[in-house]
Structure 1
Amino acid sequence: MTSPLRSTLDFLLHDWLQAESLTARPRFADHSRETFDAVLDTCERIARGKYAPFNRIVDTEEPRTEPDGAGGLRVVLPACTHDARRAYADSGMLAAAQDYEQGGMQLPYLVDAAANVFFGCASISIGSNLLTTGNANAILAHGTPAQQQVFAANEFNGRWAGTMCLSEPQAGSSLSDIATRAEPDGEGFDADPLGPRYRLRGNKMWISAGEHELTENIVHLVLAKIPGPDGKLVPGVKGISLFIVPKQLVDAEGQLTGERNDIALAGLNHKLGWRGTTNTLLNFGEGKYPVRAEQGGGLDGAGAGAIGYRVGAPGEGLKCMFHMMNEARIAIGMAATALGLAGYYASLDYARQRLQGRPMGAGGKDAGAPQVALIAHADIKRMLLAQKSYCEGALALNLYCARLVDDGRTGDAQQAQDARLLLELLTPIAKSWPSENCLEANSLAIQIHGGYGYTRDFSVEQYWRDNRLNMIHEGTHGIQAMDLLGRKVLMQGGATLALLARRVRATAQAAAAVPPLALHAAQLGDALQQLLDVTQEAWAGGDAQQVLANAVPYLQAFGHVVLAWVWLDLALATLRSDAQLAQPASAGRLGAARYFFHYELPKIDAWLAVVRRCDSTCADMASEAF
């Protein structure tokens, strides 16, 4: 029997996004609907067998440390984590979207993203391989051929894992304040075949999968500052560079040398959720594992530094790292979506089986009548509809963004340019909207379970805990909001926002000609115009500090307009494929769209009102008044 998730993915991929049309492009010419289905079948099977049965185990048997025999610490994980990671790597999914020459399948990113949803629904803690792929992609984009061959290739083939090391205990999200140093390793530092060689010293925090023994090596991408001529670190972000810092040192052929780099695990962060994934504090160059100096090297001994190889030009670290960061943001949106869907399916199943209460009649409840299933009650249907509209809408949005990735890489010149611009604009929404609203879906899933939902007897409390991280992960709501309102909507003089507006209007125009959707089309048109007007009015005064004080309400309103557009387009596709709504899934999809327009889209009025008038309630609040 086809799972609800698989049915939804099939509709989104083929009835809505026309995934099979991508096979007309040379890069994907070897593929077909059959190969796409085979990839989904394989991933669903692995997720069911290696991930889902162990989701509770990795939550309760948290990572722990023990002495590594060399004066440091090692991480111990349950055996199921090793088995799941091995199964995922053996499936080829780490390199699924890469070139054949890199061991990949040249799969459309759209299909790759859809297939990975199975793992996120089954166990997000086990299934968090996103940093390895993102790390390798950043090296492919900015690294030298040797770095690509040694580091990226071994991440794609599953031998090695990858991380990104940005935050520091004293800096958090303020990357301009990082203090990790990278100094050239002697006079011949720029002659190393793996790239300019440096010694790094500093501390990094919140590093997901920063230490483990799932793979034979871990490739850290580390942001650090190169001292200026006076030996001092350059203030701000201009001095930041990016470095490959492997846990185990390697030679130019990618073979382990048998010597460990000077990277020490300082401890584990004990988290609310995602407990199966280690989250670490790492010390670089503290002398725990002193690295011998290369011949002619200028540094040696305790505290000399961990060896790292610069990626890209000096001072371009953020540019290089944000290639990975933007990819991770979309992946976090998908992770939030998967957790929301898992909670929705669990609460839907519970609502269908749990008998409780009796329906209200004209004379009240008939105590003698048999109990009915929870799903018979209107308020339960409200909570289920809310979850469905949030989670399936978020899934559609993230897959649309995945399709934009494919169009940006393989479309014709105009198509590629438009796709890249739209993706830039939608990335803050693709990350933030699911992480807020699918978390709310998880809360509603707990509510449907009643008191049981609050206990560990049911999975929905874990889904909520796991999902709470995603509002923080890879840039908080505040950061995404300021990026959207302060930069993205202003790009190219507003041309990017205008491009989105044209797409939204085209959908509204098509829906206006379909009687069941005409009212929603008018609502969407009004909402879009309100958003555009408020954007222009807010910036009319030119005071960035005043405008950005209400960036989060703007982000929320913008996201709801985008999701209303997505749902209207989904409704059109549903009626094209099943005009009579003969399939229950079609009626359900139309019901979720109607819910979103009736219950959710009207919320934008309140959000945009404070943006329009540049409300200063929050900005003017004196610190001592709290």
Structure 2
Amino acid sequence: MRPIVDFLLNDWLNVTSLTERARFADHGAETFAQVLDTCERIAREKYAPFNRLVDTQEPHFDGEKVTLPQATHDAWKAYAESGMLSAAQDYDIGGMQLPYVVEAAANGFFGKASVSIGAGMLTTGNANLLMAHGSPLQQQVFALNEFSGRFSGTMCLSEPQAGSSLSDVATRATPDGAGFEQDPLGARFRLVGNKMWISAGEHELTENIIHLVLAKIPGEDGKLVPGVKGISLFIVPKHMVGTDGALTGERNDVVLAGLNHKCGWRGTTNTLLNFGEGKFKPQGQGGAIGYLVGEPGQGLKYMFHMMNEARIGVGIAATMLGMAGYEASLAYARQRPQGRPIAGAGAQAESGPKVTKDAARPQVPIIEHADVKRMLLAQKSYCEGALALELYCARLVDEAHTGTPEAAAEASLLLEVLTPIAKSWPSEWCLEANSLAIQVHGGYGYTRDFPVEQYWRDNRLNMIHEGTHGIQALDLLGRKVVMQGGAGLKLLAGRMSDTITRAGQVDGLAAMANGLAAAVQQLGAATKSAWATGNPEEALANATPYLQAFGHVVLSWIWLELALVAKASQPVTDEHAARNAGLLAAARYFHVYELPKIGAWLNVVAAREPVCREMQDAWF
């Protein structure tokens, strides 16, 4: 994996150019490489050897506490001590001021080694949200202790009865007193409710767990405001803390109701949490104590800061699981002998061409068979393309934070459009890569003697994680491509057009450039047709095939970009030459095997095909 990471960061994204900016001026190619080396080593030593262990020894709850394997404790300790939790933060709070694109690439090693053990995505995201929207004391007490690894963090959105429908959140937050009385840590409330699917919601890995909880504040009539406008965000620590960050010894009224037993990601606790059930009475009263973040009623807006960050993280996790399966199936295909070369080319018989095999010849490794190469090429094109997409989005984050005002505005706009793709595309197509990895192994792939079945199980969650496929599709077609009069879509199309122009002048890439140009035109026409009547119900009925087509167009563009770099590269070693040839083959594969699929997807979008929305319950 390291060669493709280095190619993407250095040859394509030119990350060392970021060191010309004041924030990253202390860094260079050497420090970036050292970060990657360190994370790769920790992942290899503390994560990868225990991936199967944490899959088979699931978290255990004895009614009082959750027990995890010692390997998980050791991995968390090594990760926290690496400084990666605060990698992108300012020096004065213990950070490294690393570019996010380098941080994202480095964290990828942990996802590939054992996504189930996990790294710090939720903890870092929790702390980053507080740095953006919390008070100075909330940042000092909660965020900084998360960055150090002393505390860990969660995001608590979904509820058993609501799932992704956040407008139906029923968790209630009542002012702890006559009004919004100010505790030094923020306006104090008492929360009562339940939260479901909370990853890392209970464990003993850290001194404290900081829950960020969405809840509604009752109106003057005591009723909850319907919809999302009444949702506020609260810090709810597992253990109560003082203004110095020290634990007070008092337990907050947050109780683990049970662990969810998952298909994959078995090493990470996934929980149902009860807030305010009365088992504990902090400060002598029932209800979990929560501190308001920012202004009341702005909770969902604040939480999107963490959710969008997590969506790129989920995309990277999906990519890395696909990459792990690809590398395992590639190694297997190179050493597994089976079958012999096809002979007799051109021989004819009455029934058709005659195909023969010489049984006396030795068997060949299965990688010599064209259909196995097809499956490996598909995995390579999905996983390396997805990694390029994720790192491109991470590079946009750096541009949005440190670029010129114009460049920052464009980067933010592109991120708005690409975030649904960054989350959804790898979670679908790197899952397909895992399925193909099983297929390459044959019957062995379906057994637990080989790792590829676990990679598939772990990856299946990512189509659900942080907003399902359908939700990402509604967000893309219903909001992102039409916002600001389609400005984001036009900007992205302009970037694609520039790539098409450059590739059209390069020998061997013109056909791909022409194919992408036609695809971009077809995507634009389908977008207009979907909204031709202005009826959201008609437009959005086929949002998922639109998402699939959009993603394939984006990945075709990404692959054309990579092909341009590979073509221009002057390899100095045989390994570099093979790498470039492999990139060009994967680009060609994606353009001739994958890009043509968009026609079927976009046809139903453009026609506003009504069969799905008109289907009735009784007809099933």
Q: Paired residue for 1:297?
A: none
Alpha-carbon offset, residue 372 of structure 1: 0.3
2:294 alignment counterpart = 312
Deviation of 1:129 after TM superposition, in Å, equals: 1.9
The one-character-per-residue Cα deviations of 1:39-74 (angstroms, maximum 9, x if unpaired) are 00000000000000000000000001113xxxxx21
The answer to whether structure 1 residue 240 and structure 2 residue 211 are counterparts is no
Q: CA deviation at 1:187?
A: 3.2
User: Mapping of 1:401-416 within 5 angstroms?
Assistant: 401-416=393-408
Q: Distance in 1 between matches of 2:478 and 2:565?
A: 34
2:77 aligned to 83, 86, 90, which one?
Answer: 86
CA displacement 1:425-479 (0-9 Å, x = unmatched): 1000000000000000000000000000000000000000000000000000000
Following superposition, the deviation at residue 127 of structure 1 comes to 2.1
How far did residue 312 of structure 1 move?
1.4
> Once the two structures are superposed, what CA deviation does each residue of 1:137-183 show, in whole Å capped at 9, x if it has no partner?
11111111111111100000100000000011110110111110000
- 2:455 alignment partner, one of 438, 455, 463: 463
What is the rounded CA distance, in whole Å, between the counterparts of 2:570 and 2:113 in structure 1? 30
Separation in structure 2 between the aligned mates of residue 588 and residue 127 of structure 1, nearest angstrom:
31
| Correspondence 1:252 to 2:243 | yes
For each residue in 1:267-288, what CA deviation from the matched residue of structure 2 results, as whole angstroms up to 9, or x when unmatched? Answer: 0000000000000000000011
CA distance, structure 2, for counterparts of residue 423 and residue 561 of structure 1 = 16
Q: Distance in 1 between matches of 2:509 and 2:558?
A: 13
1:489 to 477, 481, 500: 481
Match of residue 191 from structure 1: 182
- What CA distance in whole angstroms lies between the structure 2 residues aligned with 1:486 and 1:187? 42
Separation in structure 1 between the aligned mates of residue 568 and residue 342 of structure 2, nearest angstrom: 37
Which TM-score applies when normalising by structure 1? 0.96
Match of 2:316 among 334, 347, 350: 334
Counterpart residue type for residue 598 of structure 2: I
Q: CA deviation at 1:253?
A: 1.2
Please identify, of 209-218 and 573-582, the stretch whose mean Cα deviation from structure 2 is larger: 573-582
1:382-408 deviations in Å (ceiling 9; x for gaps): 000000000000000000000000000
**Are residue 46 (structure 1) and residue 28 (structure 2) matched?**
no
In structure 2, what is the Cα distance between the partners aligned to 1:114 and 1:230? 51
Give 1:142's match in structure 2, choosing from 133, 136, 142: 133
Confirm or deny: 8 A CA contact 1:128 1:277 kept in the other structure: no
For residues 136 and 576 of structure 1, what CA distance do their matches in structure 2 show? 42
User: Are 2:217 and 1:217 equivalent residues in the alignment?
Assistant: no
- Structure 2 residue 165 is the aligned partner of structure 1 residue 165: no
Q: Any residues of structure 2 matched to 1:463-612 within 5 Å, and which? A: 463-578=455-570, 583-612=577-606
Q: Please name the residue that 1:387 is paired with.
A: 379
* Poorly superposed stretches of 4+, deviation over 4 Å: 579-582
Q: CA deviation at 1:515?
A: 1.3
Q: How far did residue 538 of structure 1 move?
A: 1.3
Could you say which residue in structure 2 is the equivalent of 1:37? Answer: 33
5+ residue gaps, structure 2? 345-354
- Amino acid corresponding to residue 462 of structure 1 in structure 2: Q
Report the residue type matching 1:48 in the other structure.
R
Q: Residue 73 of structure 2 contacts residue 205 of structure 2 at CA under 8 Å; is this kept in 1?
A: yes
- Per-residue CA deviation, residues 316-339 of structure 1 (Å, 9 max, x unaligned), is 110000100000011000000000
Q: Hey, what's the Cα distance between the residues in 1 that align with 2:157 and 2:123? A: 15
- Offset at residue 491 of structure 1 (A): 1.2
Aligned residue for 1:419, secondary structure, equals helix
1:338 is aligned with what amino acid?
Answer: M
Which residue of 1 is the match for residue 434 of structure 2?
442
TM-score w.r.t. structure 2 length?
A: 0.97
Question: What is the CA–CA distance in structure 2 between the aligned matches of 1:618 and 1:231, rounded to whole Å?
Answer: 40
CA distance in structure 2 between the partners assigned to 1:343 and 1:39 by the alignment: 24
Q: Name the SS for the 1:456 alignment partner.
A: coil
1:359 maps to 341
- Asked if structure 2 preserves the Cα contact closer than 8 Å seen for 1:219 and 1:244, the reply is yes
How many residues are treated as equivalent by the alignment?
608
Rounded to whole Å, the distance in 1 between the matches of 2:7 and 2:283 is: 57
Q: Give 1:439's aligned amino acid.
A: L
Aligned-partner Cα distance in 2 for 1:546–1:159: 50
Alpha-carbon contact 2:173-2:218 (below 8 Å) kept = yes
Deviation at 1:543, TM superposition (A): 0.5
Indicate the SS of the match to 1:227: coil
Verify the 8 A CA contact 1:43 1:115 in the aligned structure 2.
yes
For 2:103, which of 95, 106, 112 is the aligned residue?
112
Q: Which amino acid aligns with 1:587?
A: A
**8 Å Cα contact 1:578-1:586 kept in structure 2:** no
- Kindly state the Cα deviation for residue 578 of structure 1 after the two structures are TM-superposed: 3.0
Structure 1 unaligned residues grouped into runs of 5+? 68-72, 294-299
- Aligned-residue CA RMSD in angstroms? 1.0
Structure 2 distance, partners of 1:236, 1:618, is: 26
Q: Give distance in 2, aligned partners of 1:578 and 1:326.
A: 38
Separation in 2, partners of 1:242, 1:592? 45
